[in-house]
Copies of this chain bind each other. A is one copy, B any other.
């Protein structure tokens, strides 16, 4: 187990996901934030001033107040940021700058990214610790391919993450043939710049999120795919999604219909989910208690995003309303709630870094 402290940099530190990184790293036993970077708009400013400038009214949006340790830290320009000055880089940027800057950082340093830029690169895994931990082997391949000392590993889209967690024990125990999912997603997923206006969300459902459905469909195949010939052969099940936005602050809710590979009783499905506690994540600092990634609710009025999103520090996927589905072959259906900016973004990325440390793939310099 890693005891030493790793120096980490957070790039894109002023946004919502960036703040979630700082919030979850402020008392981290292994990782110490020594560098903050963001766009040139706030470069050179103290962090507390930068977030005010970028976010207006709210400034610091995560729990409580901006941690004292960061308030006065000077924001570096992400374009000039020297990644070699840290052991790990966490990035929370838009896709376009991520595409340009993450390879630069990776030349010297491991990069854990919440952006989508690298998700579908052949030599980059989409790691969810405990779900497909072994895919990290691909990172050695990536180093070799690209001549980098570091690498880039991307988080799944926040909508994919909770869904993949809920499916993992089903895929393992029963196999999966088909999946139909409808999401009601929280507004925090859209961030602040380009965020969802009250004018659009109040007393309303927005039936479309550009690009989201394709992401979920592609990423699920890769996450449950198999390492093969220096890449990942996607899993063969069919996936079909409809992604919508609801007037919810945090926590994505998803209605899932799944056709399993073989018949399974509801009790067996429930036991598989409730018992899902991968051994390799149990001791990770950011892991929920006992590594139990799923809570199965018996109360039919759960899960609800407001009541359940923060379960296990926002790292537990809540599943409820488990029922047989009469339409799909070996069909089951359920609802899930997963915290989109914690497990689905920053804290999930920290969990990946913790896994890679225990796997020996991230080492101090």
Binding site for B on A (CB under 8 A): 16, 52, 56-59, 61, 178-180, 182, 184, 187-188, 192, 195-208, 238-240, 242, 244, 246-249, 253, 255, 257, 299-307, 320-321, 325-328, 331, 333, 335
Q: Which of B184, B299, B306 is close to A244, meaning CB atoms less than 8 Å apart? A: B184
B residues near A188, Cβ cutoff 8 Å: 199
Q: Count this chain's copies in the assembly.
A: 4
Q: List 13 A-B contacts (CB under 8 A).
A: A59-B301, A187-B198, A198-B200, A198-B247, A202-B202, A202-B306, A205-B246, A205-B305, A207-B320, A208-B301, A238-B326, A238-B327, A257-B257
Which 10 A-B pairs rank lowest in CB-CB distance, beginning with the nearest?
A182-B255, A182-B182, A238-B327, A57-B301, A204-B306, A187-B198, A198-B201, A240-B327, A207-B335, A195-B197
Q: How far is the CA of A39 from the CA of B59 in the complex (A)?
A: 30
Contact of A208 among B59, B200, B244, B321 (CB under 8 A): B321
User: Which chain B residues border A180 with CB–CB below 8 Å?
Assistant: 180, 257, 325, 327-328
A325 to B325, CA, bound (A): 18
The interface residues of chain B lying within 8 Å CB-to-CB of A242 are: 255, 257, 321, 333, 335
Inter-chain pairs besides A196-B197, A206-B301, 4 sampled, C-beta below 8 Å: A197-B197, A202-B247, A239-B326, A240-B331
A21 to chain B, nearest CB (A): 18
- Whether the Cβ atoms of A200 and B58 lie closer than 8 Å is yes
| B302 touching A207, Cβ below 8 Å | yes
| Contact assessment for A207 and B327 in the assembled complex, using a CB-CB cutoff below 8 Å | no
Contact B179 A327 (CB under 8 A): yes
A325 touches B240 (CB 8 A): yes
Q: Please pick, from B56, B182, B208, B304, the residue contacting A204 in the complex, using a CB distance under 8 A.
A: B304
Q: If the complex has contacts A180-B327, A202-B202, are A246 and B247 also in contact, measured as CB distance less than 8 A?
A: yes
Which residues of the partner chain B approach A197 to less than 8 Å between Cβ atoms? 187, 192, 195-198
Q: How far is the CB of A344 from chain B (nearest CB, A)?
A: 16
Question: Which of these, B192, B240, B321, contacts A207 with CB under 8 Å?
Answer: B321
Give A187 to B205 CA distance when docked, in angstroms.
Answer: 13
Residues of B within 8 A of A305 (CB): 203-205
Nearest chain-B residue to A238 (Cβ)?
Answer: B327
**Least CB distance, A240 to chain B, in whole angstroms:** 4
A124 to B330, CA, bound (A): 34
Interface centre among A61, A187, A208, A239 (most CB of B within 10 A): A208
CB distance from A306 to the nearest CB of B (A): 4
Complex Cα spacing A301 to B203, Å = 15
Closest to A256 in B: B242
Q: In the docked arrangement, what's the CA distance between A56 and B325, Å? A: 26
